[in-house]
Structure 1
Amino acid sequence: MLGDRIFWIPAAIPCKCPEAVEAAAREKAEAEEKERRKKEEQARLLVERLQGNSGMRGRFLERTFENFQTPDSQTARAKETAEKYADSFGNLERKKNGLFILGDIGVGKTHLSAAIANRLMKNGRPVMCMTMIDMLARIKATYDKREISEGEILKVYETIPLLIIDDMGKEPATEWGVSKIYAIINARYEGYKPTIVTSNYTDTELERRLTPPGGDDTTARATVDRLREMCEALVMEGQSWRSR
């Protein structure tokens, strides 16, 4: 507006000729493809970061549902249960939202738990998956380091969206080790945090395995009692893969 005069500036009218329409469509497709590639790269980097922080390494990262062998119907049902768990992770029941995967050596317990972890990380969900021995070793390692404390490590174990403890009860128990495992399990129990445990032992056998030689079994029983409340049992039977 200048004085009492008003100037109208017409908006540019896009050309509707076939060449212009084709060029606009091509530019739109190129922009969409660029955005798709950008999102794919972001997703890839996220998965790599999650894997790096997961505690998983080597063969753990190669175990998927796709390469899990199902030589019999019972093993196939176990795979179906585990895959359903992974795919419905965001909609699990609040209370009994974990798995206690029980079976003899070599029947595929670790493979299925790692497959769950890899599926969730592929979908952008943080997971920590390691043996009980490695978990305790990481805690012990903080005693000689200043850059990270025991409390910080425990906080990760207690709050990660999914914690997978492989081979619980494999090694002889100590009072220190059982007290740390109980603290982690109890914190996750109180916070309704999904937890998966694999073991060669039934719940009653695990109580004995988690009791230090000649020691009191109170902490061991409390730990297993929490797991009973937190986890659905998934029993795996059959011949060991390693002997096939």
Structure 2
Amino acid sequence: MEAILEETLKNLGMSSSSDNPDPIICNHCGNEREQIQIEHPFKKDEMRWVPIVCPCVQKQMEEQKRLQEFYEKRAKINRALKLSSSMDDIKSMTFENFKMRKGSETTLEEVKDAVANFEERKKLGVFIFGETGNGKSHCTAAGGNELIQKGYAVIFITEKDLLSRLAATKNYNNTESFNEIMSACLEADLLIWDDFMSSQRLANEEKDWIFQIINGRERANKPIWATSNLTPDEFKADATAYKLDDKGRTWWRLMANMNCIYNRATNYRKALAMARALDITVDEYDAGNR
């Protein structure tokens, strides 16, 4: 038995000598492998030489690990992008083509900080509220696109689209399952929730879905960036918190993990339409309505 074990150890690379190690050549690069002495597993009073992993093999293993992580991350990103709403429109939104208007300064600054310090912020998200059409969606989408370029999985989805797709999973011929959608919302590195609280009436089932996502991401230490057309008065009102559940737990669970920003900019689409009607620039229209 001892002879069999010794032969097995030798086949694994352990030297048969306690003094001078038998040279071992790497099968990949042809160089001699470095060896170290360790205690014999059966003869405690003896030391034997064993080879360590050749640097070329170590490098190959690290490269394979990087490739595996890369493919896993790409698959995760693709799953997230598949769930996102209106991807063609979203992809075109950048910080460079964001139309900076008076009142949007804090919004842009906060989103850029959230991108630059994404890892450090952990679950700390952003809640941007204000008038419709004032650049909230564009700004968050621009930040999400930058994070995608850095290798993060980002979902950008409107509340209406999210709830509709979850409800549609009840249809037997639906191509998406409830678990696929919910898992994507929970596993993505970032969930950008556009038009949050835009639903006029929420069924109890929908309230439960919203809570599952918010609670799940909090537990996973992952952020949500939400945009909303709430007014400052609505944002402060108890009625808003109780809209998601009768105790306000969902609202306050979300708010506890948010930097809340009031985007004071006005509706750009309205300003653009009025400027065209008056044959003036948007800046001139804004200046006359301040």
Q: What TM-score, normalized by structure 1, do the two folds share?
A: 0.70
Q: 1:123 aligns with which of 139, 150, 171?
A: 150
Which has the higher mean CA deviation after the structures are superposed, 110-119 or 197-206? 197-206
- In the alignment, the residues of structure 2 paired with residue 87 and residue 206 of structure 1 have an alpha-carbon distance, to the nearest angstrom, of 34
Name the residue aligned to 2:105: 76
Aligned partner letter, 1:68 = F
Q: Give the aligned CA root-mean-square deviation in angstroms.
A: 2.8
Q: Which residue of 2 aligns with 1:151?
A: 179
Deviation at 1:194, TM superposition (A): 0.7
Distance in 2 of aligned mates of 1:152 and 1:206: 34
Confirm whether residue 187 of structure 1 aligns to residue 216 of structure 2: yes
Residue 182 to residue 52, structure 1, CA distance change in 2 (3 Å)? closer
Q: Distance in 2 between matches of 1:157 and 1:51?
A: 8
Q: Does 1:90 align with 2:115?
A: no
Alpha-carbon contact 2:153-2:189 (below 8 Å) kept: yes
Pair 60,160 (structure 1): closer, same or farther in 2 beyond 3 Å: same
Q: Equivalent residue for 1:63?
A: 93
Q: CA deviation at 1:211?
A: 2.6
CA, structure 1 residues 163+52, in 2 after alignment: closer, same or farther (shift >3 Å)? Answer: closer
Residue 228 of structure 1: aligned partner:
255
What is the alpha-carbon distance in structure 1 between the residues aligned to residue 252 and residue 145 of structure 2?
28
- The answer to whether the 8 Å contact 2:137/2:227 transfers is yes
Alpha carbons of 1:60 and 1:209: their partners in 2 closer, same or farther (altered >3 Å)? farther
- Residue 34 of structure 1 is matched in structure 2 by none
Q: Larger relative contact order (C-alpha < 8 A, sep ≥ 6)?
A: 1
**Aligned partners of 2:238, 2:226: CA distance in 1, in Å?**
11
Letter in 1 for 2:101: P
Structure 1 unaligned spans of 5+ = 1-41
Structure 1 residue 238 corresponds to structure 2 residue 265: yes
Q: Which residue among 132, 140, 163 is the counterpart of 2:159?
A: 132
SS in 2 for 1:79: helix
How far does residue 140 in structure 1 lie from its aligned partner after superposition? 1.5
Distance 1:130 1:207, change over 3 A: farther
2:192 is matched with which residue: 147, 164, 178? 164
Q: State the shift of 1:233 in Å.
A: 0.5
Q: Residues of 1 paired with 2:238 and 2:143: CA distance? A: 23
* CA pair 152-90 structure 1, distance change in 2 beyond 3 A: same
Displacement of 1:132: 0.8
Counterpart AA for 2:96: E
Q: What TM-score, normalized to structure 2?
A: 0.60
**Residue aligning to 2:131:** 104
Answer yes or no: is the 8 Å Cα contact 2:130–2:264 preserved in 1. yes
Query: Cα offset for 1:106?
Result: 1.1
Using the alignment, how far apart are the partners of 2:238 and 2:81 within structure 1?
30
Residue 207 of structure 1: how far off its partner (Å): 4.8
SS at match of 1:101: strand
Q: Which moved more, 1:178-187 or 1:199-208?
A: 199-208
| Gap change, CA 1:207 and 1:118, over 3 Å in 2 | farther
Corresponding residue number in structure 2 for 1:28: none
Q: 2:14 is matched with which residue?
A: none
Deviations 1:134-172 (A, max 9, x none): 111121222124664312321211121111111011122
Decide which structure has greater helix share: 1
Do the aligned partners of residues 132 and 210 (structure 1) sit closer, same or farther apart at CA in structure 2, a change above 3 Å counting?
A: farther
Q: Aligned to 1:144, what secondary structure does the other structure show? A: coil
